[in-house]
Structure 1
Amino acid sequence: MAPPLRIAVLECDTPVDKVNQKYKGYHGLFSLLLRESAAALGQPEKLDPETGMDITGWDVVIAQEYPNLEDVDALVLTGSKHDSFESHPWILKLVEYTKKAFEDKRVKIFAICFGHQILARALNAKVGRNSAGWELAVCNVDLSKTGKELFGRDKLRIHQMHQDIAYGYPSEVVSLGASPKCAVQGMYVPGKLITVQGHPEFREDIMTELITLRTASGLFNKEQSADAMGRAGIAHDGIAITVAFLKLLLA
């Protein structure tokens, strides 16, 4: 039997309190998603959902700790409340590490929201605020030809929670799709990486908690809040996205 896949979750933030307590941080949340997706893959002889992955968590914000690339098979770059375009030392360190991981011929990358933008920045694409504003809750993504082939769908439904974007595609990647508010919804390099601007790991309870807190703080107005709440429980394709990454890992 093959040894477990060594997957390092680079925790770029700590979830809000209720989510953090329930799922035990982004490490716990992505561990759950990866195991659910391994079960959905349905190939236990190749990837057992319980024993086939060694998933570790790394605090890249406060502790600024990273795994040695030779000790991992894949990296997951999580979302974050922080801005991917800032020049805080920990963000610059993350960009540099991501660049090295991209250049490594063996390590695979799965990058989510903030992580997707960090990957774009590491490859010299501009990242920043989206003039179109927030994209919230479950939204449709129009997939490219490659995106349709990769995810096995004509359209993608995915949770969104962002007002920052990558402004363009690095030359090294292939587009996976776009939405009316965000032209860069996903990036792909065969055998190397999948990124998505949305959140495959989010669930209805996570989204409703975020909307509630951010509405109470004044970040979202009542109309935005009501619209997003109405889409928070729509079925989405988080598992299908992660299955595609596991297939990339196993290839």
Structure 2
Amino acid sequence: MAQQQKKKVVSIALLVADTPPPPVVAVRGDYTQIYPRFLQESLNTIKRHSWQPQVELHVRCYDVVKKMEYPDEGQLGDGLWDAVMITGSASSAYLDLEWTRKLAAFLRATAENHPLVRLIGICYGHQILARAFDGQVVSNPKGWELGTFSCTLTPHGKELLGYDENETQMAIQQVHKDHVPELPPDFAGESFENLASTEISPIQSLILRYPTEAPPLASTAQASAYMAFDIEDSETASSGPNPLRSMHLLSFQGHPEFDREIVENIIEVRTEMGIVTGELREKSLVNAKKPHDGLKLGRAILAMLGVEEARTDTGDSMVHLQ
């Protein structure tokens, strides 16, 4: 009898900070559908060794705007959640709203009290994380980024996000005017680092490291309190854990989960509202059609959560699975 393949479940609490405009919902669903689908599609592109466990994603959505609901404190403490991910939103992360304040406070408390829980932010999520860590979020005087933009990667950005030496740009769909103008202050002795920039928005991807190379996931440790040891994982490729395993936080100013149709529909809605007109509209529609690295960045998010592409013993190349 064939041995049953082991399973690895990665649990993500998705904090839903908005509902996209009706034309987007009509073609792609709301964020409770867009984000889990993006994560699953990213997972489907990851090549794994046959001896590595089959990965399942468990994504539970929390309405942090109207219901102001969050993962249970006891569940967090028991290591039931490996990561908290914050979606995009048409709201501004600097606003003094009850739900915004509660969200920022929850993220800060999670970092302080449940440090093994990874934090992942997309667009608004990137901005509210910056606010939670005492950083700034402002309306950008240089204006909008709409459609796919090429972001210049730092050397660290290339390494961590899986780009080759000769690749200098990260292509990502963008829908924002607010941005994070500078790095948040240090947290728990660790410094924030920026991985990519554009001329309009210099901080395109934030990371915050752990003090050790690859602490366990909360579900592996069955606790969310920090443990000062690196992961002992017999299921990790023999070339060692991916460098992203040392990330406590990863955020993107852009939208790796957005595709051309979503962005085009958002541009149309903003045009009807009188927000995106003239040359900005024309340029944005051209940008929206450009290719982007969404699934590649989805793989980076999953590598942070211990789901990494199979490598040869030397770590040079992927192993193609049948």
TM-score bin (small chain): over 0.9
- The aligned counterpart of 1:145 is 155
Question: Which of 65, 69, 73 does residue 65 from structure 1 map onto?
Answer: 69
1:114-148, Cα deviation, whole Å (9 max, x unpaired): 11010111111111111101111000101111111
Question: Which of 106, 110, 115 does residue 116 from structure 2 map onto?
Answer: 106
Q: For residue 44 of structure 1, report the CA deviation from its aligned partner.
A: 7.2
- The aligned counterpart of 1:203 is 259
**Based on CA coordinates, which of the two structures has the bigger radius of gyration?**
2
Residues 1:161 and 2:175 aligned together: yes
Q: Secondary structure at the match of 2:202?
A: strand
Matched pairs, number: 249
1:23-46, Cα deviation, whole Å (9 max, x unpaired): 332121011110111111222765
Residues 1:118 and 2:137 aligned together: no
Residues 1:78 and 2:87 aligned together: yes
| 1:215–1:222 contact (8 Å) kept in structure 2 | no
Distance, in Å, in 2 between the alignment partners of 1:96 and 1:74 is 16
- The aligned counterpart of 2:274 is 218
| 1:111–1:119 contact (8 Å) kept in structure 2 | yes
Instruction: Using the TM superposition, name which of 83-92 and 168-177 deviates more.
Output: 168-177
Q: For residue 197 of structure 1, report the CA deviation from its aligned partner.
A: 0.3
Q: Unmatched 5+ residue regions in structure 2?
A: 1-5, 209-245, 308-322
Q: Secondary structure at the match of 1:200?
A: coil
- The aligned counterpart of 2:59 is 55
Distance, in Å, in 2 between the alignment partners of 1:184 and 1:33 is 23
Distance, in Å, in 1 between the alignment partners of 2:53 and 2:27 is 26
Q: Unmatched 5+ residue regions in structure 1?
A: none
| 2:146–2:176 contact (8 Å) kept in structure 1 | yes
| 2:87–2:121 contact (8 Å) kept in structure 1 | yes
Query: Residues 85 and 41 of structure 1: is their aligned pair in 2 closer, same or farther, counting only changes over 3 Å?
Result: same
1:42-74, Cα deviation, whole Å (9 max, x unpaired): 2276564xx611111110000000112233111
Distance, in Å, in 1 between the alignment partners of 2:44 and 2:139 is 37
Q: Which has the higher strand share?
A: 1
Q: Secondary structure at the match of 1:61?
A: coil
Structure 2 counterparts to residues 226-237 of structure 1, below 5 A: 226-237=282-293
Distance, in Å, in 2 between the alignment partners of 1:35 and 1:132 is 35
Superposed CA RMSD in Å reads 1.6
Distance, in Å, in 1 between the alignment partners of 2:97 and 2:106 is 14
> Structure 1-normalised TM-score?
0.94
Q: Which has the higher helix share?
A: 1
> Structure 2-normalised TM-score?
0.74
| 1:37–1:240 contact (8 Å) kept in structure 2 | yes
1:210-249, Cα deviation, whole Å (9 max, x unpaired): 1111112110122111111011121101111111111110
| 2:21–2:269 contact (8 Å) kept in structure 1 | no
Distance, in Å, in 2 between the alignment partners of 1:39 and 1:2 is 15
Instruction: Using the TM superposition, name which of 65-74 and 82-91 deviates more.
Output: 65-74
Distance, in Å, in 2 between the alignment partners of 1:193 and 1:240 is 18
> Sequence identity of aligned pairs in percent?
31
Question: Which of 72, 76, 90 does residue 99 from structure 2 map onto?
Answer: 90
Q: With CA pairs under 8 Å and 6+ residues apart, which has the higher RCO, 1 or 2?
A: 2
Distance, in Å, in 2 between the alignment partners of 1:91 and 1:180 is 28
Distance, in Å, in 2 between the alignment partners of 1:22 and 1:4 is 29
Residues 1:5 and 2:10 aligned together: yes
Residues 1:179 and 2:198 aligned together: yes
| 2:84–2:120 contact (8 Å) kept in structure 1 | yes
Query: Residues 227 and 248 of structure 1: is their aligned pair in 2 closer, same or farther, counting only changes over 3 Å?
Result: same
